[in-house]
Amino acid sequence: MRAKRAGIALAATPVLIFIGLLVLSLFVLPGAQSALACEATSGSSPVKAGTVPNGWGPLVDRAAKDSGVPASVIAAQLDTESGWNPKAVSPAGADGLSQFIPSTWRLYGKGDPFDPANAIAAQGAYMKKLMQVVRPVAQRTGKPQVSLALAGYNAGEGAVLQYGGIPPFDETKQYVPKILALAEKYAQGGDGKAATTEPATSCSGTSVSNATVGGAGDDYPFPNAEYNAGNPLTGFAYRNCTDFAWFRVMQQKGITDRSKWSALRLAPGNAATWEAAWQRQGWTVSKTPKVGAVIWYAAFAGGTQQFGHVAVVKKILAGGKVLEEGYNYGNPPDGHYYTREISANFPSAYLYVPEGRIP
């Protein structure tokens, strides 16, 4: 069971984990502090009414607020681990809704592990610990903190520290997107919120003088989600440039099933790293604009900050101009849809929507 692997790793190597965290804290990149400053800090949205059985929804919501993990993600984990069976026992000896083995339960659980209230509270306590452990990795790399915590739950937090991200284990690489996709079932309007969300993937965007902010032409599917909260469907952050651009890619590919919108398999990270992600996949990177292409700004290019910026080519205009559309172009007003005219050679590159199947 997942809790068994992670629990053993935690119990067996507390000193190594502490040393790892200390070393990571000494090498946090300068931009990490600004990423941290962009984190949202309000409480978690409750799970969607009627999705959690037996009236356990408030228990899940409380665990989410305690842990800083979206309530929808906590629910998805419990669903995956035990199928909501409070009497579940695995062949490995993991017990209850949260499927903790005894050694892990002694660290995070109280009372009877078969009691739903105890089990859900323990799940929150354990995920809170994992969020704390992986936080330096998220700050240093810009990778989503919730995703790293899920990877730690499956493979052990020591593996996340060792690899500086989601470990290259087949089970773990499947587990993280599976949980994030299942979380959609439990999210309130698709916007399950973390009390401490992953670092924003493009905090400042790019401030410009000729941008028009408004709703015309905006069909982004999460317009009311809280800005910078982690989007469990995509792995980015709501109402950020990266989330909007990836939505456009999914839209152009005709992928309407939101459970298949995860970008984690591409590991594109913050906006500044998107060109590298495209190149890893062998997808076209060009200096020539094309309607629907992702407009890519490298770190500090075009007025951006260290996280870069991505947008989308809405229209090719006369005179070597392009109509750019996107989200999160500056502060203020962050987290809003905008359009603006730019010179076609202003961006760092154009990332074409890939042909064929997205892996």
- Indicate whether 217 and 97 sit together in one domain: no
Name the residue range of residue 270's domain.
212-351
Assigned domain for 43 exists: yes
pLDDT tens per residue across span 91-121: 888 999 999 999 999 999 999 999 999 999 9
State the chain's mean pLDDT as an integer. 79
| Residue at 205 is within a domain | no
One domain, residues 105 and 46: yes
Same domain, 18 and 63: yes
pLDDT in tens, 38-96: 222 223 568 888 899 999 999 999 999 889 888 889 999 999 999 999 999 988 889 99
**What residue ranges in the chain does DSSP mark as E strands?**
212-213, 285-286, 294-297, 309-317, 321-327, 337-343, 349-351
Query: Are residue 76 and residue 219 in the same domain, yes or no?
Result: no
Number of helices and strands (H, E) in the chain?
A: 12, 7
Output the domain CATH number for residue 267: 3.90.1720.10
Residue 157 CA to residue 152 CA, distance in Å, equals 4
Residue 177 has pLDDT above 90, yes or no: no
So what's the pLDDT on residue 235?
85
- For residue 198, being part of any structural domain is answered with no
Catalytic sites, residue numbers? 81
Scanning 110-229, the segments in alpha helix (DSSP H) are: 116-141, 145-155, 157-163, 170-186
Can you give the pLDDT at residue 5?
Answer: 46
Buried b / exposed e along 312-331 (16+ C-beta atoms within 10 A): bbbeeeeeeebbbbbbbbbe
Question: What CATH number did the domain enclosing 11 receive?
Answer: 1.10.530.10
Residue 26 and residue 168 in one domain: yes
Task: Please check whether residues 257 and 168 belong to one and the same domain.
Answer: no
Give the integer Cα–Cα distance in Å for 89 and 83. 11
Q: What is the pLDDT of residue 4?
A: 43
Q: Same structural domain for residues 253 and 121?
A: no
**For residue 292, pLDDT beyond 90:** yes
Q: Is the pLDDT of residue 15 over 80?
A: no
Kindly state whether residues 34 and 165 are assigned to the same domain. yes
Answer whether residue 42 is part of any domain.
Answer: yes
Going from the C-alpha of 19 to that of each of 52, 129, 153, 167, 198, the distances in angstroms are 39, 16, 20, 19, 23
Q: Is the pLDDT of residue 1 over 70?
A: no
pLDDT score for 359: 64
Tell me how long the chain is.
359
358: in domain: no
Rounded to whole angstroms, the Cα distance separating 66 from 79 reads: 19
Residues 109, 122 contacting (CB under 8 angstroms): yes
**203 within a domain of the structure (yes/no):** no
Highest mean pLDDT among 47-56, 134-143, 281-290, 337-346: 281-290
- ∠ Cα 20 26 31 (to 5°): 115
Judged against a pLDDT cut of 80, whether residue 309 lies above it is answered with: yes
Q: Does residue 193 lie within any of the structural domains?
A: no
Preceding omega of 332 cis (within 30 degrees of 0) = yes
Q: Above 60 in pLDDT, residue 20?
A: no
Closest CA to 70 of 186, 177, 166: 186
* Residue at 96 is within a domain: yes
pLDDT in tens, 206-235: 444 456 776 778 999 998 887 777 888 888
The number of folded domains in the chain is 2
